Every structure is written in C-alpha cells, then in structure tokens.
C-alpha cells in the first residue's frame, strides 16, 4: 500500500518536473494568443484559454502540497502571469485575479476545514474564483463595505450591489468583502468564499469598454446564503494588508509587464523588418523602441525588487505592517501601471503607422487599449491621494543603498 502510494507520488513529481510551470504556461499562452483578437473584438470570456489553463492544471498551483496542490511560489506565479500577459491580456488578468483570491484563502484559512475543502476542490476540479470588492458608487475603496453579512444559525446571508465582478458568469465561485455585521463600521470587514451553489446574480451593468474586454467585468446584485464556516477566520483588514494588496499589485503588475513586453517585441520586430527593407536605414521611430525596451527593463526591475521585498517579510507580521513596506507595495502598483502604459506608447511610436493600424502584424491597438486599464484599476490618483499624508511624514533616505 505504502509502496503504491510512493510510486504514485514519484510518478506525479516526475510528471510535474517534466511539465514545468513555464512549459505549461507557454502551452496555455499559445492557445490564449490564438483567440485573443476574437476575445477582444466580441468582448467574450477567453473560453479556449481557460480550457487549456485547466488542462495544464494551472488553477491550483498555489495550493500547498499538503492540500494536493503544487505549493508554487509567488515568483513562479508572477512568471506565469507574465507569460500569459504577452498572449491575451484578459485571460492573464483573470488568471491573476483568481490567484489573488486563492492567496488570501491559503494564507488566512488557519486550518478552517470548510475552506481547506474548497482549496482541495479548486485543485481537483480546477475551479475558477472571481473577486467582488467594488460596491455601489464607492468604486475602488476596497477598505469600506456597505452590505453586511447576517448570521442565521450556521449560515450567513449577504445581498450586495457588486458594480464590477470580472468573469462572474464564468466563475465557479466568488470571494467577496462585506461588512462584518449590520451594526459594524464600514471598515470592519470580512472575506467570504462562495461557491456557485451559494449565490445568485442579477445583472445590473454591462461591460463594453475600451480594453480588457474579455474580462467581462459586469455589475450584479449578488445574493448569497452560505455556511458561516466559509467566512475567513481573520479580519479583512489583516488579509488586505498582508496578502490582498501585495498579491494584487505584484500579479496585476506581472500581467501589465507581459502586455508591455508583447508591445516591445512587436516594436523590435518592426524596427528589424524596416532595417532589412531599407538597406540598413533606421525607421524614424527607432529611438522609441530603445525607450520602450528601457522602460520595460525599469518596470521589470521595480516588480522584481518589490517581489523580493515582499518574499522577505511574508512571514513577519510586524514588518508587513510597517509604513515603509505598505508604502512601497502600494506605490508598486502606481509605478508599474504607469511604466507599462509608457512602454506600450513608445512601442506604438516605434511602429508608426503600422502600429496604429488595426490590420497590420505590428498593430499595437489592442495592447494599448488593454494596458490603459492599469492606471485606473483602482485609480492611481486615489492611491496617491491616500499616500500623501504618509509620504509627508516619512523620513527621506540618507544614502543610496540604505
């Protein structure tokens, strides 16, 4: 019996090693890229990409091995987002949003049996989880909820006006913020994990946008009844600071870096092609390719440095709560989103009219429309305004490396 278990384990490990994450991510990216133009044109969920993502069993990679997952690191996950981001922005962002919620559950379930069952189910059935934080007219103020959970015996109920839930119709579950109780302050929040059987959705708003059209981020009235055990045991305040914000900023950032890398690759191909056809004469926008490559390098540098900082404090609650860390991880989103948009704009200028056209192999249009969602996905101006007081009070550095 034990020998059989070991043989199965060994076969599984060998199989995983042979199909390493990058290879599996590339297989999913290939399918995603083939369908990205139609996903964008028709504003539909990237069905084919997610069929392949499920085939490659990528939805449960973050789950610890003890719960049958692969225990992938955040850096590995960020690389998968980067690879997918180069292929189909919407599929990549959906993949990132699923994993941000997964990280919150994994890091804050604290041995809760119902939540661990759900994590196992994500691995076995390759469930896709969506996220609901935006509510009513409050927009991206994630740290305030209007609707409250109500306890009825062993269950909780919730009804919220969820003005934006990406891929809600295609998801197998939704992870939502809510006020702890009807008499709690708006910032006293909980995080509730819902499976499809636990809720109904009534459409409030459609999703006809400039870019990220395949995320289908429609608005709904979300009505839920679920076992109270599906509430995360820790307050959302803690989950937000320790897991939600760092994972969101690093994984969204990796997707945007992927979009920027795709645009830069097109610009390079355009410049090389132009060189070949003009007897070595550089096209007029060539300097913009150099600038695209340079800002992409800076963007990857910011992401890599923030990722390393987060990994070094991940298990240190005090360090994660420090103003220094919170400001750094918050500003990562602002910097990375601006750099991604700048990179794509440079790529467009490098490709000139060929980049501006929709019917050219060097077209940058879709990438530009998609990346322009980055600075407004939780508006950078809102983030900067929130940080203004902290920045004013934080001492400035006195050395280069300190």
| Choices 57-65, 136-144, 275-283, 341-349 (CB under 6 A): range interacting with ligand FAD | 136-144
Told to check if 330 binds ligand FAD by CB under 6 A, we report no
Q: How far is CA 133 from CA 121, 161, 178, 192, in A?
A: 23, 10, 8, 11
CB 145 within 8 A of CB 198: no
**63, 122 Cβ separation under 8 angstroms:** yes
**Toward ligand FAD, which CB reaches closer, 21 or 127?**
127
Residues facing residue 130 across a β-bridge: 174
Instruction: Say whether residue 133 binds ligand FAD (CB under 6 A).
Output: yes
Q: Which residues pair with 205 in a beta bridge?
A: 219
Within 8 A by CB and 6+ apart from 378, the residues are 140, 142, 333
The yes or no reply on residue 251 touching ligand FAD (CB under 6 A) is no
Residue least distant from ligand FAD (Cβ): 139
Q: How far apart are CA 81 and CA 21, in angstroms?
A: 11
The smaller minimum CB distance to ligand FAD, of residues 116 and 198, is found at: 198
Structure tokens at 211: 């870019």
The residue from 80, 164, 190, 259 that contacts ligand FAD (CB under 6 A) is 164
Q: Does 165 bind ligand FAD (CB under 6 A)?
A: yes
What is the nearest approach in angstroms of ligand FAD to the Cβ of residue 142? 7
Q: How far is the CB of 335 from ligand FAD (least distance, A)?
A: 17
Cα dist. 231→104, 110, 179, 194 in Å? Answer: 12, 11, 12, 9
Q: Quick one: which segment of 129-137, 147-155, 250-258, 352-360 binds ligand FAD (CB under 6 A)?
A: 129-137
Give the residue ranges of DSSP H helices in 19-73.
21-42, 47-55
**Residues 110, 114, 117: CA angle, nearest 5 degrees:** 100
Nearer to ligand FAD among residue 205 and residue 312 (C-beta): 205
The residue range among 101-109, 159-167, 342-350, 353-361 that interacts with ligand FAD, by the rule CB under 6 A, is: 159-167
If binding means CB under 6 A, how many residues of this protein chain bind ligand FAD? 22
Cα gap 81→88, rounded to integer Å: 10
Find the DSSP H helices in 109-244: 113-125, 236-239
The one among 33, 68, 76, 139 contacting ligand FAD by CB under 6 A: 139
Q: Give yes or no for residue 137 binding ligand FAD (CB under 6 A).
A: yes
CB 96 within 8 A of CB 251: yes
What is the 8-class DSSP label of residue 284? T
CA-based nearest residue to 171, from 131, 138, 206, 210? 131
Sequence-ordered list of residues with C-beta below 8 angstroms from that of 58, at least 6 positions apart, any chain: 21, 24, 25, 28, 80, 95
Q: Considering the complex, what minimum distance in angstroms separates the CB of residue 134 from ligand FAD?
A: 3
Of residues 260 and 293, the one with the C-beta less far from ligand FAD: 260
- Report 1-30 residues binding ligand FAD (CB under 6 A): none
Q: Which of 56, 86, 217, 363 contacts ligand FAD by CB under 6 A?
A: 217
- In the bound state with ligand FAD, the residue whose beta carbon lies nearer, of 126 and 132, is 132
Binding residues among 41-100 for ligand FAD as defined by CB under 6 A? 97
- Between residues 85 and 283, which has the closer beta carbon with respect to ligand FAD? 85
Binding residues among 349-388 for ligand FAD as defined by CB under 6 A? 373, 376-379, 382
- Residue 291 Cβ vs ligand FAD, minimum distance, rounded to whole Å: 26
CB of 297 to ligand FAD, least distance (A): 25
Length of the chain: 402
In the complex, what is the shortest distance from the CB of residue 94 to ligand FAD, in angstroms, rounded to a whole number?
9
Shortest Cβ 90–ligand FAD spacing (Å) = 8
Q: Residues 112, 131, 230, 254: which binds ligand FAD (CB under 6 A)?
A: 131
**CB distance 90 to 212 below 8 Å:** yes
How far, in Å, CA of 5 to CA of 13, rounded?
A: 12
- Return d(Cα 298, Cα 349) in angstroms, integer: 19
**Nearest approach, Cβ of 364 to ligand FAD (angstroms)?**
19
Q: Which of 132, 230, 234, 354 binds ligand FAD (CB under 6 A)?
A: 132
Instruction: Summarize as ranges the residues that interact with ligand FAD (CB under 6 A).
Output: 97, 130-134, 137-140, 164-166, 212, 215, 217, 373, 376-379, 382
């Amino acid at each position: 019996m034990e020998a059989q278990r070991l043989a199965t384990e060994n076969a599984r490990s060998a199989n995983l090693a042979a199909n390493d994450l990058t290879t599996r991510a590339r297989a999913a990216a290939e399918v995603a890229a083939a369908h990205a133009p139609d996903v964008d044109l028709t504003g539909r969920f990237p069905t084919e990409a997610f069929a392949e993502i499920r085939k490659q069993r990528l939805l449960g990679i973050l789950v610890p091995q003890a719960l049958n997952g692969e225990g992938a690191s955040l850096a590995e996950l960020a690389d998968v987002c980067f690879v997918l981001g180069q292929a189909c922005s919407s599929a990549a962002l959906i993949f990132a949003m699923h994993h941000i919620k997964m990280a919150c559950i994994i890091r804050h379930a604290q041995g809760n049996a119902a939540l661990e069952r759900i994590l196992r189910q994500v691995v076995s059935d390759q469930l896709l989880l969506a996220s609901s934080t935006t509510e009513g007219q409050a927009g991206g103020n994630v740290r305030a909820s209007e609707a409250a959970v109500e306890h009825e015996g062993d269950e909780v109920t919730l009804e919220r006006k969820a003005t934006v839930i990406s891929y809600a119709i295609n998801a197998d579950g939704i992870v939502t913020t809510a006020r702890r109780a009807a008499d709690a302050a708006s910032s006293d929040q909980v995080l509730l994990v819902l499976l499809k059987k636990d809720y109904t959705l009534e459409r409030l708003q459609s999703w006809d946008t400039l870019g990220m059209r395949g995320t289908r981020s429609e608005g709904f009235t979300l009505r839920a009844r679920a076992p109270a055990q599906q509430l995360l045991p820790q307050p959302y305040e803690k989950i937000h600071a320790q897991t939600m914000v760092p994972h969101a900023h690093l994984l969204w950032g990796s997707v945007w870096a992927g979009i920027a890398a795709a645009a830069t690759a097109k610009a390079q191909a355009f410049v090389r092609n132009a060189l070949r056809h003009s007897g070595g004469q550089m096209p007029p926008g060539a300097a913009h390719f150099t600038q695209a490559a340079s800002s992409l390098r800076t963007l990857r540098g910011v992401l890599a440095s923030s990722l390393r900082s987060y990994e070094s404090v991940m298990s240190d609650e005090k360090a994660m709560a420090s103003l220094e860390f919170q400001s750094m991880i918050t500003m990562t989103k602002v910097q990375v989103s601006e750099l991604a948009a700048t990179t794509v704009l440079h790529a467009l200028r490098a490709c000139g009219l060929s980049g501006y056209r929709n019917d050219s192999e060097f077209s940058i249009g879709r990438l530009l429309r998609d990346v322009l969602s980055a600075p407004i996905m939780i508006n950078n101006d809102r983030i900067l305004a929130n940080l203004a007081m902290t920045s004013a009070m934080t001492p400035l550095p006195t050395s280069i490396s300190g």
